[in-house]
Chains A and B, each alone.
Chain A
Amino acid sequence: MGRGPRGGLRPHRSRLVRTEFETMTAAAQKANPDGLQPCWSCKGPVASTAMFCATCGAVQPPGQGDRFTRLGLARGFDVDRGDLDRRYFALQRDLHPDRFATRAAREREISLQQSTSLNEAYETVKSPLRRAEYLLSLNGVTVNAETGNRPADPDVLMEAMESREALAEAETEAEIAALAEQARDNQRHCLDALTVAFRADDLDAAARLATRLKYLATFTEEARGRARARRAP
């Protein structure tokens, strides 16, 4: 097998390409929109969205559909956290590998896939920022600052630069805390606006707000780091 150039002393030859990973590829969704497929266990028909085979009860590999569907939720930005948690817990109760600890390897493996897929869906839907980004990506809009297909909003960039400057200049813990509190306040407002935008199906506004929310979240994290660094002995 041919080997590539060694490139000097440095063995690291990978360059990062930031891409979002989808457990279920779009291709797979197209290949089998809503039909039946053979159960891997009993070979009888099973709905492609079913978690268990109605005939033999065997756990099925993660079905197709988006991360909202996986949790039994309608696709949308409005999510009730209590309802989300209940659904997530109920599904994990049935699908978690702990339920299959003494089962066959194949079932353990599928349960692992199901549980992993559920965690992915839960983590996405739980976080307003990830939920917004995901909803946008489902609509073909990516808001990542570097690879996004919408131009960055100059106002957002300006705000981010200014608040970063203010954080760099903040001397006392109280000043840092005040900046963090303001950022949290802004996040709340941004979230409200995001809810309105998604309800109105205004993707441009949603993309702009999601970008802003991301900056605010990053900023809050940075402020937290600053505060911690000051507290450290």
Chain B
Amino acid sequence: MMVIDIHEPGQTPRQHAAVSAVGIDLGTTNSVVAISQDGKPQVIRDSDGEALLPSVVAYGADGSVTVGAAAHRRLLEDPRDVVSSVKRLMGRGLDDIKTLSGVLPFEVSVPADGESGGMVRLHVGGRHVSPVEISAEILRAAAARAEVALGRPVPQAVITVPAYFDDAARTATRDSAKLAGLDVLRLVNEPTAAALAYGLDKGAEGLYAIYDLGGGTFDISILRMERGVFQVLATGGDAALGGDDFDHAIAEHFLAERGLESTRMEPATVKTVLALARRAKEELSSRDSSSFRLEFDGEATFHPLDHDTFNALIEPFIARTDAICRQVIEDAEIAMEDIEGVVLVGGSTRVPLVRERVAALFGAEPLADIDPDSVVALGAALQAEALTQGSDTLLLDVTPLSLGIETMGGLAEKVIYRNTPIPVAKAQDFTTYQDGQTGMIIHVVQGERETVDECRSLARFELTGIPPMTAGAARVRVTFAVDADGVLAVTAAEQTTGAQGHVAVKPSYGLAEGEIENMLRASMEHARDDVTRRLLVEARVEADRVLMATRAALTADGDLLDTAGRAVIVDAMARLESHLAGDNRERVNSGVEELDKICQPFAQARMDRAFGAALKGVAVDALLETETE
């Protein structure tokens, strides 16, 4: 086999000044930039020696834009001009974030022009900006930091995303980079990037779990690492679970002690309480107890907090990560004992209870010897080097959520299952439902549930120009292709004529915050309900189809039947229709079977006529004979 020369023309291997791409961990709370040379990654610090770039953007009334620590300082003073945690809004529609807007101190809207694909805009600092634009500011600041360090611009980047990010959020991230003028070499999943950093730096081999609890997202990935291969076996997570939830729980606790509820408070006050809660979380992570002073509305209250109370407040969130970890172990088709080690990623894994629980769950002391805040960026930098300079390592990732298509009755038919290695392409054939049908709406969804309403809608598109044929004659092949970034493209074509429809899936609109994780969690709890419901819907659809077909047959060839023959069929149709009114699947199915059977002689007669053997009327006797056979 040919060995490919991966070095660019004119470049020799191991050329030191050859860094042409950076790794960027675009985080909810903080972002980190790193570069790698000769397999040695390092974080790029700002002039103050700070590695973390707060993912905060301030929009001044004078049109200025500030990013990072300077913007963060203005968070409490000018909450209406400053955006934080924008990662949670990536690829989200208005419906998605309605539940969030209570704690967001800005107005959100969807522009009427329809060009933004339904993604929200934020009214901040006197202007309307989309999450994509805000993220682009953070990416620009990250790229600028690299440019200062290297003395020249670095136009290419590997950007990390939560493994559990859906297609809309991934596409939005890629768009942000485009907006920031960065050429995205690859979107890499955060836990996979962390695994790369560990595997290469610490020589880790075997099965590893990467437990990544950040400010706003939780990811767990199981990887097999050996001889430079990083194969993700399964991944899972929760796109709305993180250290922010700890802060909220502590804040609620403080407010309850003061006899208040957060729902009726000014956004600025909420931010004050949250800032204190965050400090409490950090202090309680290194001491047994402390007391906190909360002052607003001209009143100061004191709140002692001990370790046990703190743990009790955050325990429910950690329990949720436990359940997800168990699920992913099952998905990977391995046993807990097979896990060689657990790597901790994300600032929230500094909380002692998180470490204790992870250690207990996996029966192994978790690894945190690479700084959990920078390990993802280091892995991204290694991958950036590998992509541009060549490498012998291989990252094989999977798709985190199932992708499907809406079929009759609002069912989600899965085309690509979760944890399928990417890149992947799958096609499925569909046909028309009615005679002469020339169009078809293709609705693409993502999620684990059985019905479309409970999955995230990614896009709809319409395939037109199908030549008029009898129902069921057309062959529409819908192809789903997920690339190495985990981004989906859907194409559809009618096979007999080549009529094409195409869509690049863009964020359309979607679910309430946290609905992705709810989708998966609920699909476990309600798996049986789902199956039952799905089977009933399928049975009804099939029954409708049979009825429609029979009616059409009667209209076309009814002259083949005598009065009695027709009556037997019409009676069977009526019985089936009455079963359809109920929700007994067995009855619907048996009604379909009965009608099928009763129609057999009629069908035979129609075929015979088509073959030229003219028959006049089918005797009732013949019909009854078949029925009793």
Which stretch, A133-141, A153-161, A200-208, A225-233, touches the partner chain B? A225-233
Residue from A15, A52, A98, A224 in contact with B407 in the complex, judged by beta carbons closer than 8 Å: A15
- Contact between A123 and B421, CB atoms less than 8 A apart: yes
Which parts of A58-101 form the interface with B (CB within 8 Å)? 59, 89, 92-94, 96-99, 101
- Contact between A89 and B229, CB atoms less than 8 A apart: yes
- Contact between A13 and B433, CB atoms less than 8 A apart: yes
Q: Looking at B2, B323, B413, which has the most chain A CB atoms within 10 Å of its CB?
A: B2
CA distance A19 to B38 in the complex (A): 48
- Contact between A19 and B481, CB atoms less than 8 A apart: no
- Contact between B425 and A120, CB atoms less than 8 A apart: yes
CA distance A206 to B443 in the complex (A): 38
Query: What chain B residues lie within 8 Å of A13 (beta carbons)?
Result: 408, 432-434, 437, 439-441
Query: What chain B residues lie within 8 Å of A52 (beta carbons)?
Result: 1-2, 4
Which stretch, B255-263, B342-350, B523-531, B602-610, touches the partner chain A? B523-531
Q: Does any Cβ of B come within 8 Å of A211's Cβ?
A: no
Residue from B4, B405, B436 in contact with A4 in the complex, judged by beta carbons closer than 8 Å: B436
- Contact between B484 and A98, CB atoms less than 8 A apart: yes
Query: What chain B residues lie within 8 Å of A226 (beta carbons)?
Result: 527-528
| CB of A211 to closest CB in B, whole Å | 20
Q: Does any Cβ of A come within 8 Å of B395's Cβ?
A: yes
Query: What chain B residues lie within 8 Å of A15 (beta carbons)?
Result: 407-408, 430-433, 472, 541, 545
- Contact between A101 and B387, CB atoms less than 8 A apart: yes
Known: A1-B465, A119-B424. A89 touches B387 (CB 8 A): no
Residue from B427, B430, B436 in contact with A16 in the complex, judged by beta carbons closer than 8 Å: B430
| CB of B21 to closest CB in A, whole Å | 9
Q: Does any Cβ of A come within 8 Å of B394's Cβ?
A: yes
Q: Return the chain B residue nearest A15 by Cβ.
A: B433
Chain A positions 102 through 126: 1 when the CB is less than 8 Å from some CB of chain B, otherwise 0: 1000000000100110011011000
Q: Does any Cβ of A come within 8 Å of B438's Cβ?
A: yes
Q: Looking at B427, B433, B442, which has the most chain A CB atoms within 10 Å of its CB?
A: B433
Query: What chain B residues lie within 8 Å of A54 (beta carbons)?
Result: 2
| CB of A98 to closest CB in B, whole Å | 6
Residue from A17, A99, A112 in contact with B4 in the complex, judged by beta carbons closer than 8 Å: A99
CA distance A177 to B167 in the complex (A): 36
Known: A1-B464, A11-B441, A119-B421. A97 touches B5 (CB 8 A): no
Q: Does any Cβ of B come within 8 Å of A57's Cβ?
A: yes
- Contact between B5 and A57, CB atoms less than 8 A apart: yes
Q: Does any Cβ of B come within 8 Å of A7's Cβ?
A: yes
- Contact between A229 and B484, CB atoms less than 8 A apart: no
Known: A7-B433, A119-B421. A96 touches B527 (CB 8 A): no
- Contact between B392 and A16, CB atoms less than 8 A apart: no
- Contact between A96 and B468, CB atoms less than 8 A apart: no
| CB of A131 to closest CB in B, whole Å | 16
Chain A positions 1 through 19: 1 when the CB is less than 8 Å from some CB of chain B, otherwise 0: 1111101000111111111
Chain A positions 212 through 233: 1 when the CB is less than 8 Å from some CB of chain B, otherwise 0: 0000000000101110110111
- Contact between A5 and B484, CB atoms less than 8 A apart: no
- Contact between B1 and A4, CB atoms less than 8 A apart: no
| CB of B481 to closest CB in A, whole Å | 7
| CB of B486 to closest CB in A, whole Å | 12
Q: Does any Cβ of A come within 8 Å of B365's Cβ?
A: no
Q: Does any Cβ of A come within 8 Å of B6's Cβ?
A: yes
Query: What chain B residues lie within 8 Å of A4 (beta carbons)?
Result: 432, 434, 436-440, 466, 468
- Contact between A17 and B429, CB atoms less than 8 A apart: yes
Known: A2-B468, A229-B524. A21 touches B423 (CB 8 A): no
Query: What chain A residues lie within 8 Å of B513 (beta carbons)?
Result: none
Q: Does any Cβ of A come within 8 Å of B426's Cβ?
A: yes
Q: Does any Cβ of A come within 8 Å of B625's Cβ?
A: no
CA distance A51 to B525 in the complex (A): 46
- Contact between A51 and B1, CB atoms less than 8 A apart: yes
Q: Is the contact region of chain B dominated by helix, strand, or loop, or is it mixed?
A: mixed
Q: Does any Cβ of B come within 8 Å of A23's Cβ?
A: yes
Query: What chain A residues lie within 8 Å of B441 (beta carbons)?
Result: 11-14
CA distance A101 to B384 in the complex (A): 10
Q: Does any Cβ of A come within 8 Å of B186's Cβ?
A: yes
Query: What chain A residues lie within 8 Å of B526 (beta carbons)?
Result: 229
- Contact between A102 and B185, CB atoms less than 8 A apart: yes
| CB of A86 to closest CB in B, whole Å | 9
Query: What chain A residues lie within 8 Å of B442 (beta carbons)?
Result: 14
Query: What chain A residues lie within 8 Å of B521 (beta carbons)?
Result: 232
Known: A12-B409, A115-B484. A232 touches B392 (CB 8 A): no
Query: What chain A residues lie within 8 Å of B6 (beta carbons)?
Result: 99, 102
- Contact between A5 and B437, CB atoms less than 8 A apart: yes
- Contact between B394 and A102, CB atoms less than 8 A apart: no
Q: Looking at B388, B421, B430, B465, which has the most chain A CB atoms within 10 Å of its CB?
A: B421
- Contact between B4 and A57, CB atoms less than 8 A apart: yes
Q: Does any Cβ of A come within 8 Å of B571's Cβ?
A: no
Query: What chain B residues lie within 8 Å of A57 (beta carbons)?
Result: 2, 4-5
Query: What chain A residues lie within 8 Å of B406 (beta carbons)?
Result: 12
CA distance A17 to B420 in the complex (A): 22
CA distance A98 to B397 in the complex (A): 12
CA distance A85 to B185 in the complex (A): 27
| CB of A78 to closest CB in B, whole Å | 21
Known: A2-B468, A12-B406, A98-B186. A112 touches B423 (CB 8 A): yes
CA distance A120 to B424 in the complex (A): 7
Known: A4-B436, A14-B440. A228 touches B528 (CB 8 A): no
Chain B positions 395 through 428: 1 when the CB is less than 8 Å from some CB of chain A, otherwise 0: 1100000000111111001000000111111111
CA distance A98 to B408 in the complex (A): 39
Q: Does any Cβ of A come within 8 Å of B330's Cβ?
A: yes
- Contact between A97 and B483, CB atoms less than 8 A apart: yes
Known: A14-B440, A19-B428, A52-B2. A98 touches B395 (CB 8 A): yes
Query: What chain A residues lie within 8 Å of B483 (beta carbons)?
Result: 97, 112
| CB of A84 to closest CB in B, whole Å | 13
Query: What chain B residues lie within 8 Å of A53 (beta carbons)?
Result: 2
CA distance A112 to B483 in the complex (A): 7
Residue from A96, A102, A232 in contact with B8 in the complex, judged by beta carbons closer than 8 Å: A102
Residue from A3, A99, A112 in contact with B438 in the complex, judged by beta carbons closer than 8 Å: A3
- Contact between A228 and B524, CB atoms less than 8 A apart: yes
Residue from B388, B464, B541 in contact with A3 in the complex, judged by beta carbons closer than 8 Å: B464
Q: Does any Cβ of A come within 8 Å of B327's Cβ?
A: yes
- Contact between A97 and B484, CB atoms less than 8 A apart: yes
CA distance A211 to B439 in the complex (A): 36
Query: What chain A residues lie within 8 Å of B436 (beta carbons)?
Result: 4-5
Query: What chain A residues lie within 8 Å of B413 (beta carbons)?
Result: 16
Query: What chain B residues lie within 8 Å of A11 (beta carbons)?
Result: 441, 443
Q: Return the chain A residue nearest B228 by Cβ.
A: A93
- Contact between B327 and A228, CB atoms less than 8 A apart: yes
Query: What chain A residues lie within 8 Å of B481 (beta carbons)?
Result: 116
| CB of B387 to closest CB in A, whole Å | 4
Q: Does any Cβ of A come within 8 Å of B476's Cβ?
A: yes
- Contact between A94 and B425, CB atoms less than 8 A apart: no
Known: A52-B1, A98-B186, A98-B484. A228 touches B527 (CB 8 A): yes
Given known contacts A12-B408, A14-B430, A123-B420, what 6 new A-B pairs fall within 8 Å (CB)?
A5-B437, A53-B2, A94-B2, A119-B420, A229-B527, A232-B323
Q: What are 15 A-B pairs with beta-carbon distances under 8 A? A: A2-B438, A4-B468, A12-B406, A12-B443, A17-B475, A23-B425, A52-B1, A59-B4, A93-B392, A96-B396, A98-B395, A116-B424, A120-B424, A224-B330, A232-B323
Q: Which 5 A-B pairs have the closest CB atoms?
A: A225-B527, A4-B437, A4-B438, A101-B387, A52-B2
